[in-house]
Every structure is written in structure tokens, then in C-alpha cells.
Structure 1
Amino acid sequence: MSGVADDERAWWKEATVYQVYPKSFDDSDGDGVGDLPGLIDRVDYIDELDVDAVWLNPVYESPQADNGYDIADYRAIDDAYGDMSDWEQLRDELHERGVRLIMDLVVNHTSDEHEWFQRSRREVREYADYYHWVESEPDEPPNDWESVFGGPAWSWDDEREAWYLHLFDEKQPDLNWANPDVRESVYDMMAWWLSKGIDGFRMDVINLVSKAEGYPDGGPDSDGAEHFMNGPRVHEYVGEMVDEVLDDEAVLAVGETPGVSVDDARRYVGEDGDGLSLLFQFEHVTFDHGEHKFDADEPDLVEFKEILAKWQDGLADDGWNSLYLNNHDQPRMVSRFGNDEAYRRKSAKLLGTLTHTLGGTPFVYQGEEIGMTNAPFESREDLRDVEVRNYVESAVDDDDGHADSYEDVREAVEAMGRDNARTPMQWADDDHAGFTDGEPWIDANPNYTEVNVERARADPDSVLQYYRDLAALRDRDLLVYGDFELLVPDHPNLFAYTRTLARERDDESGTAANATDAPARERALVVLNFDDEPTSFEVPPDMTVDGLELALANGEVPAVPGRTLDLGPWEARVYLTPALDGSTTDATTRTDR
């Protein structure tokens, strides 16, 4: 049996979470926008993936300045997606299949159309301080902070005749969490959603909710982030939120936390931290950025391994990792970290192997499971995302821009733009990839004729089938709770590591299962070739080759491995291997969700 104590377990540690971006998932009514009835029609597909929870991106009432992350009413469903009865049906359909539902929580900011902001700009007494307002001259912004989407983080409001803070789009004013009435309003809303039967929240940029008092300028070459990222009272606020509404082990509380270090992370998720379940850190998806994200270099595998290993080790005994390589804010992982042309399927499988065999909770973004890729955006008119449109405008149209035309920045846009993640889910070789009968809000990737669910379902060697195999593989406690050890850290093409899990003694005397002095262990070896060329890997000397059991691979593998493993381009292998004590590989598995 596994040596994992009951108090170490949690459903969300053993889960795989499937992220749905509803605007691009499935359109039921032909208006070109994905909706909840369309998602309901696809619940059986999600169930077939053997995932344990769905993270639903925002479906709240919104003017869609930032695709739903600008919320006008937290307790209403936007008409574009359906209504509350549709949401309730989705909840019930998922729960009937044993799949939990996680809602996106966006409370650093609201829409400027939210009634709180409308009352605040009119200085209605109880709402006057719901947002960050500063009274000064119209041509004198309060400080030099910059918006994440580019440009100043302050806008002038003619009605109130004051400046308001927006760390994102100007239609996304930041809530003033220093006001206890704001926090109480947020907690009431969260409790309302929990009462409706949801299973947790993914909390958008939750580590930005605290701003430095007095709004000081940023330092040299700074956008001001040191004054609002992991701000002075953030742990007070997050800890209070957990105490008020999230103090339930059955509720998943995921914090999106840009700019955190491992030490910062422990303060949010560690045993003595704020009480979050886990968090999304960004280091492994930003390390290749230059001055900004659209100035990215080719990812370096050695640095990539170093970062992931640091987080594996850093949260091993105090906290929990999230495992992701793409989501609604990141380009498609097979285009960024793999080879989306000659080795699209193999590299998609390899990357999935990585996220399912490291320590932590895997998050699968819609389309990842069929190997969807970045898309071509032939003109700037094809772009929809506010961030990328702002970048193109500043690069091409501004007097101090660095480009003469869209073609000068097109490669960067197609490599790093968020629209890559938001093209329609590719269901079939039908018009618009089977996403809609109308004109889609954003064009489908032209490769949908080759890359789609219908084709993947019919192919036993598809990425989709491989993801099902990964789900079955990860049912082992070994791959959830096992210790991580990085191998060959300096190899430029190989990512290799072991997972090791101690097993319970087989008798009351404490004798190991194999009657030796060494503790009994289960062990896995994961070997991944991140390259277009073949390479070799030497099995470490503390591993016995005899009895090496292949658990999963994305290509043909010799039946009898030697001490040297010869891997082809983008080849991934997972072995179950005896440890020095000679223990067997009868790993504990779980069959229930």
C-alpha cells in the first residue's frame, strides 16, 4: 500500500482540471459566440477525458472589454452565454458525472459599468471609496504606474473629476480592498456562489489586491509593480477571505499570482500561510520574455528545467504546485515549447506527459488534448484581444513605435498573442471547425481540417487518446505524492526525472515489505527528448534495469530496455522501475474521482 497519510490527501491534489473558455468552446445558437447550452452539449466529451473538475472562465454579465474579465454583475449570467437556469443545468450535468465545477473569481477589479463603480463616480456616500480615486489636475496623473495592457494605469473621470486606478484596461477599475465594505461585499458574493453548489474558485490576479498607501512612483525602469504586486496588506486580505468563505477542505481555492517567488508562494499556500489550496505562478511561462512578452526568445530547456525543478523542490514539503503550460492567457504550448509542424502530435504528447507526471495538479486547457496550435493572424483586423491590439497600436501607430507596419510585428503577435488560445475549439472538419453555424467572433485556425476532435476520436494513436492514457496513469499515488528528483539538469535536450514514494510497512514490527533494512519504495522514471534529433539517456546506476516496466510512451519502444535508452525526436517515456531495495511496482491506484 501507499504510504500517503489520509490527512495529506485532498481531492484537488489527485484531480485533473479541464479549463473551458466558454466564448470559444461551442456555440449552440449560431450567433458566433460560445455559450452554456453549447457547453452542456459537450459535457459527455469532457467526461470522456476522465477529468475531475472544470474551471469555467467568466460567464458573468459583462460588456466584454476584456472577454468577461470586466464584470458588470457578479450574480448574473451574461445574455451571450445564456441565463442562470443554463448555468444550473451545467452544474447539475457535471455533478451527475462526478465532475466538480470551479468558477473564475475576478475581484481585483470590476467593469466600469458595474453599479458599484457607477455609484462611486457619483460619490454616493457608501460607495465613494469602493475604488482608488485621486483628486488632482486632469493633466497630472497620481503616479507613473503602468497598465498591464500598456499605457498609464490611471484614467481621468469627467463625472467625478478625479483619477481612478486600473491596472488593466481603462474599463476595468481596481477595487479598493482597503475599504472593509468592499471586502464584505466580495465575501457575500462568494458565499452566494458557494451556496449554489460550486466546488471552488480560481482567483484572478489575487495578489494585486493590495496597493501601497499614498500611491508612490515606481522605481527606475519600473512599472510600479513593487507597489501593488504582493502588496503590503495582501496576506491580511487573502487570509481574511479564506477565513470568511473558503475555510472548507472540500473547496478548491486557486490563486493566480503573477510575480511570486517560491518563498512568496509558501505564504499563500504553505501550512502556516493564508490558506489557498494552490496557485498559478508565472516564472516558467515568462522566463523567455525580453523587455515585454512580445519580445520573447526561444525557450532554453536548461533554464526551463531549472525553474520547474525549483518549484517542485520548493513546495514539496510546504504547499502544492499547479501544472500548466498554456491557458487562456498563454499561446498554445505545442507551438511555444514543442514542434507544431513535423512533430506536432509527438511534442503535444510529450508536453502532456510533463504536466501529468510532475508533482502538482494538472490543468488542461481546452484543445490541448487534441494538440491545437497557434493560429495565423494575417492582418491586425483579425485580432480581438485588447492586450495584443494595444501592443500593435503602440508598435505601429504611435510616433515612437518601433514598427512601420503590422507585418513587422506579425511574427511576435502570432508567437505570443492571447488570441492564439481563444480561437474556436476544433470539433470537426466542418465550417468554422464545427464551433458555430454562424460567423465566429474570432476565426478558427485553418488547420481545423486536420486537427479536430472528430478525427482524434477515430485515431487510436491521437493526442486525445494519449491524454486518456495519461489520466489513467496519474491514478497512481506515486505520480501525485511521490518525491521529485531532476536528472541530467545540464543536458540541452533531455528533461528526465524520477518520482519516488515510500510504501507502508507490511507488518506491525515495521519490517520493510521485502524484509531488508531499506524502506520499500515505488519509483517512476520519466524521460523526455525536447528536440528534433534523436538522443540517448543513461539509466542512473541506482536503478535496476531488469524488470524496468514501460508504463506509457508516445512512440515505438524496444521490448527489453538496456542501460542506454535511445530516444527519437520528441519521444516521451514513463517507466516504473524497481528501486535499490528491489521492491515491486504494484503502485496504489485510485479508480474513484
Structure 2
Amino acid sequence: MVHELTSPAPAPDDLRRASPSKPGWWRDAVIYQVYVRSFADSDGDGIGDLRGARERLPHLVALGADAVWLTPFYASPQADGGYDVSDYRAVDPVFGDLADADDLVRTAHELGLRVIVDIVPNHTSDQHPWFREALAGRGRRRYHFRPGTGPDGSLPPNDWESVFGGPAWTRVADGSWYLHLFAPEQPDLNWDDEEVRDEFESVLRFWLDLGVDGFRIDVAHGMVKAPGLPDIGHREQVRLIGSQQLPFFDQDGVHEIHRAWRRLLDSYGDERIGVAEAWAPSAERLALYVRPDELHQAFNFQYLNCPWDADALRRVVDDSLRATTSVGATTTWVLSNHDVVRHTTRYGAGAAGLRRARAATLLMLALPGSAYVYQGEELGLPEVTDLPDEVRQDPAFQRGEGQDGLRDGCRVPIPWTSQGPSYGFGPGGSWLPQPPEWRDLSVEAQTGDPASTLELYRSALALRRAHPALGAGDGVEWLPAPPGVLAFRRRAEGAALICTVNLTPGPVRLPAPGRPLLSSAPPAGACAGDAAALGGKVPAPARELADDDPDGAEGRTVLLAPDSCVWWAS
């Protein structure tokens, strides 16, 4: 049955807006990640689906997002949450069918949202017809099959390790071995084979013809392996990802593939984009993926992994902006996704973690470039750290070494309402249990509460859309600030905005840099006069942050709350 939303979102007619038409829409876009399995369930089977996601798109519009990125919904045995694809042109029945995908794209466009879908080109499922043929001895050139080592070939071809732990090789019945940088159910494709390249060009065209606006390219750094597949020479290789070049990651040959894909995207003429999930050892190496003839964006994992430290954050911001500006690209900023511990928990336990997460959000949204928001972060959801072992589905959890295998904790279905068997996720239960305290973090519970994290996001994104100095750009003007505080100015079209971030556990006093627009410290909102100047889009009023002279900035001092961020009109 079709799920009746227990807390109806605004009707599409109330939210419909013109689709973005400005050149380079992605350069300052806010892109909302939907982990389809955990976003909204329309049929009561406990698993999110495309119809459920389509019904909840108005939430993204009300939030202020420009685009939605959908994780894989293709036909798959689901050995790794859909990142093991058996048919790239079909929708897995657990998520719906092709008509549901078409409906979602059409509805998103009616609401003014762009649609980015995941593409998984590094590997297929072991149930893909190609791999079944390979096991039967046909078409093995499409994958990496090699003889073993040792006197009887019983040892793997080299010392490469899987990202999920254990060797990156599995032996088959005839004694040969195949490469899988992830789970054994995810055999790596051989991108030296022209048939592989031709097939993926056809797959991309299939979804572009359906109307999608771009692709997030999974493991964009891993599609080409070093010639001869040389040994690395030591263990715990997963710890090296992102810190040095490895023979299976960030090889120069991947750029030829991405240039070919860019030509294909450009041939559609509608500013369709490619986004690289690429781990690189430096900002300069990452920038190679977004050169003018390659992809449009690359995820900034250096920023995501940066600790809550003023000096470290400033270095990452400077390095990121310098590298992307050198190739004429825009920088991306991201705090959480479906593969990492939610930043509310990563930054610290309890209230301290939430304070820092709220401040980090305003900092991210004040930086020049594009921002990615992972579903549920707008609710301040923490990581679920106490899931029973028997419900976990992360394949890394089942292996004895490698990653922690705890990605399920950031994938728990999000709460929409304060009541119901799954807090509005669907008419039944949910595939992973939701903590009971999440009823107080639901969309329903937070809507209209000016101190809530949801309303902070709505306010910040409304102000970001309205203020000329926010959004795209290639640099920030750093301002003097006390130790542990970051302060920078952004200017555009005669307007200026200053962002101050106190990353210390105590209050910090400094001269007032202007009129406060928005603060991460509750209650969140904007000064009434500034809200009116911006078309009334930002809730008002916020509490006055200054100690004296409320009518003018000169001579004022302000007390920044611990772990807080404030935007100021200057």
C-alpha cells in the first residue's frame, strides 16, 4: 500500500519554484544526500524506497536544498547496501521500479530540485551477468583474474588488502584469483578493457536520457590499477588511503576516463555534472579530478576528517581553496555521509557534540563553494553506537580486520514524527532500530522551534540563498581573532558578511564585527531588521549578542559562546 504521510509536508504547489538556470549551478549548490534505504518507506516493509523519497521531497525544498543526491537503487543482491550492482539499468524491487525513478526525477524537477544519482564503476556485483560469465571462463578480461603465487598457486597474486579487511583476492574453482578491493561480492572491473568503457558510457546515457542532472561517481579514484599490480610491502593498507598514493588508488590513468565522461556530460548541454568520490593524498592531487576538462566537483574528505581545532581547520580551508582555485573549480564542503560517524558524535559526546555540530554547519555554509548535507544532520541526529550485532548489515562488520565495520550507526532510518512504529519513517518498523529518544528529534518535533537544529538549518540556508556574499566564490578574507577563534569576511555586490567561530570550550570576548544575523547558539534566528531586508526569509528575532550600544557596532564588544558560530552583517 502507499504510505499516507502522518505529518504531511507542504503540498508541492506551495513549494514549486523555478528550476535553477544560472550557469554553473553546482558552484554554490546545497546538495542533500538521501540514503534511500533509510529516508522514507512507502510500503511498510521497513526499507526506504523511491516512492517514499519522492513523497518527502518537499522537506528538501522547505529546508533550502538545491539538489538531491540518491544512493544506489539499482538491481542488487544488497551485499553492500546496493553498492554491488547486478543491473545498472534496473531498479531493485526493494526500492520500486523504473517508473518510480522516473516519477521521482519529474517531481524533483517540478519542485526546482536537481537530481544526482550514484554510479558504481569500480566494481560490479558477483551476480552481474558479466561476472557469472567470467566464472564460467568467458569474458574474464572485463575483471582482474590472476594466477596465485606460491608453489601450488594457493597464495593471492599480491599483498593487496580489501578496504573491508582481509586479502583483496578470492580464489575460484579453477584455482585462479579475482580482485575485489571491497567485499568478495564486489569484483573489480578492468578499465583497460574497451567493452567496460563502452558499457558505462551506455549506462550513463540511459540515466541522462531519463533526466538525471548528474552522477556521484563511487570510488572515482580506484578504477585504474598500477601496471603489473605490484606489491605494497606492508599491512594495514586501509590506513594509508587518503595519505599516500597506492597502486590501486589515485592512479593517473583515472583522469582519461573522467575526461571522456566530461565530454559525454557536456554533450547533453544542460549542465549535467560529475562528482568524484575520490580519496587523494593532498588537496593538489584532489584538484586534478576537477580540472576544466574533467569532473565538476570532488568531495573534500580532508575537510570532513579535520578535527575541531581552529588552526587545523584554517589550514584545510586554505589548502582546499588554493588547490581548487588553481584549476578554476569550486570547493566542496561536507561534514557527514553514509560511510562515516555522524559529526554530531564525532565532535564529542552529548551536548558538546551538538554545539560543535551546529557551529560547524554555519562555518561550512559560510565558506565559498558547494555544501553537501547528509540526511538527518539537519535534525542533529547522533550516531547510533549500540546497535545489536545481529541487526548490523555493514559487510566490514562481518570481517575480522580492516575498517571498524560500524557504518550502520549513521544509516539508521531518520524520524519524521514523534509517534508511530518508526517515527513516520513508514507504516511498519524500520530495518535498523531507532533510539526512542529520536522522537524528540523528529521533523515534526523540531518544526517551529526557533532553538531547534532543524530551524537553524532552514534559517541558515534561507540566508545563504538571499545574502549576496554567501555561496560561490574562491576565497575568504581572514580577520584577526583570539586564539581558538576563526574570523573571516566575504564580500560580493557591495554586501559583506563576517563569520566568527569560537572553537574553544569557554566564552571569548571580542569587538563586535557588525550586526548579528544568525548564531548557532540557541535561540537561532536573525535580527528583525536584517530579516526584513532579506525579504522576511529568516526567522526573527535572535537575542542581542552585544553587551552595550545596541544601535551601533562602534565600541561594542560581544561574548561568543563556547563552541559557537555567528554570522554578522558588516
Q: Would you call these one fold, judging by a TM-score over 0.5?
A: yes
Other-structure match for 2:477? 485
**Correspondence 1:320-339 to 2 at 5 A:** 320-337=330-347, 339=348
Other-structure match for 2:371? 362
* Deviation, structure 1 residue 491: 2.7
Residue 164 of structure 1 aligns to a residue in which SS?
Answer: strand
Deviations 1:347-401 (A, max 9, x none): 34312212211111111111111111111315433432122443xx449xxxxxx
Q: Give the conservation status (yes or no) of the 8 Å contact 1:424–1:445.
A: no
Q: Give the conservation status (yes or no) of the 8 Å contact 2:301–2:334.
A: no
CA distance 1:564–1:314, shift in 2 (3 Å): farther
**Which of 367, 380, 393 is equivalent to 1:371?**
380
Identity rate, percent: 34
Q: Give the conservation status (yes or no) of the 8 Å contact 2:303–2:334.
A: no
Distance in 2 of aligned mates of 1:488 and 1:177: 50
Other-structure match for 1:565? 558
* Contiguous gaps of at least 5 residues in structure 2: 1-20, 522-542
**Which of 437, 440, 444 is equivalent to 1:447?**
437
**Which of 145, 168, 183 is equivalent to 1:133?**
145
**Which of 518, 523, 533 is equivalent to 1:552?**
518
Distance in 2 of aligned mates of 1:372 and 1:497: 28
Q: Are positions 1:465 and 2:455 aligned together? A: yes
* Deviation, structure 1 residue 538: 4.7
**Correspondence 1:374-389 to 2 at 5 A:** 374-377=383-386, 379-389=388-398
* Deviation, structure 1 residue 434: 2.2
Distance in 2 of aligned mates of 1:204 and 1:303: 27
Other-structure match for 2:304? 285
Distance in 2 of aligned mates of 1:468 and 1:35: 25
Q: Are positions 1:243 and 2:234 aligned together? A: no
CA distance 1:563–1:227, shift in 2 (3 Å): farther
* Deviation, structure 1 residue 260: 4.2
CA distance 1:353–1:193, shift in 2 (3 Å): same
Distance in 1 of aligned mates of 2:254 and 2:76: 26
* Deviation, structure 1 residue 123: 2.6
Distance in 1 of aligned mates of 2:201 and 2:183: 24
Q: Give the conservation status (yes or no) of the 8 Å contact 2:304–2:333.
A: no
Q: Structure 2-normalised TM-score?
A: 0.84
Q: Are positions 1:305 and 2:314 aligned together? A: yes
Distance in 1 of aligned mates of 2:106 and 2:119: 20
Other-structure match for 2:106? 92
Q: Give the conservation status (yes or no) of the 8 Å contact 1:309–1:486.
A: no
Residue 568 of structure 2 aligns to a residue in which SS?
Answer: strand
Residue 349 of structure 1 aligns to a residue in which SS?
Answer: helix
Residue 226 of structure 1 aligns to a residue in which SS?
Answer: coil
CA distance 1:490–1:563, shift in 2 (3 Å): closer
Other-structure match for 1:144? 159
Q: Are positions 1:257 and 2:278 aligned together? A: yes
Residue 465 of structure 1 aligns to a residue in which SS?
Answer: helix
**Which of 197, 205, 217 is equivalent to 1:191?**
205
- Root-mean-square deviation (Å): 2.5
Q: Are positions 1:536 and 2:509 aligned together? A: yes
**Correspondence 1:81-230 to 2 at 5 A:** 81-124=95-138, 127-136=139-148, 137-158=152-173, 160-220=174-234, 223=237, 226-230=246-250
Deviations 1:509-535 (A, max 9, x none): xxxxxxxxxxxx533210112344212
* Deviation, structure 1 residue 222: 6.7
Residue 323 of structure 1 aligns to a residue in which SS?
Answer: strand
Deviations 1:293-347 (A, max 9, x none): xxxxxx544323322331123323532111110011111111112x552356543
Distance in 2 of aligned mates of 1:360 and 1:241: 23
Distance in 2 of aligned mates of 1:206 and 1:341: 35
Distance in 2 of aligned mates of 1:536 and 1:418: 40
Q: Give the conservation status (yes or no) of the 8 Å contact 1:20–1:54.
A: yes
Distance in 2 of aligned mates of 1:496 and 1:386: 42
**Correspondence 1:570-581 to 2 at 5 A:** 570-577=563-570
CA distance 1:455–1:307, shift in 2 (3 Å): same
Distance in 2 of aligned mates of 1:51 and 1:284: 21
* Deviation, structure 1 residue 438: 2.9
Q: Match of 1:279, as an amino acid?
A: A
Other-structure match for 2:486? 495
* Deviation, structure 1 residue 202: 0.5
Distance in 1 of aligned mates of 2:265 and 2:333: 25
Q: Structure 1-normalised TM-score?
A: 0.81
Q: Give the conservation status (yes or no) of the 8 Å contact 1:75–1:189.
A: yes
Distance in 1 of aligned mates of 2:47 and 2:216: 23
Q: Are positions 1:419 and 2:408 aligned together? A: yes
Give the total of aligned pairs.
509
Q: Give the conservation status (yes or no) of the 8 Å contact 1:56–1:102.
A: yes
Distance in 1 of aligned mates of 2:251 and 2:481: 34
Distance in 2 of aligned mates of 1:193 and 1:258: 25
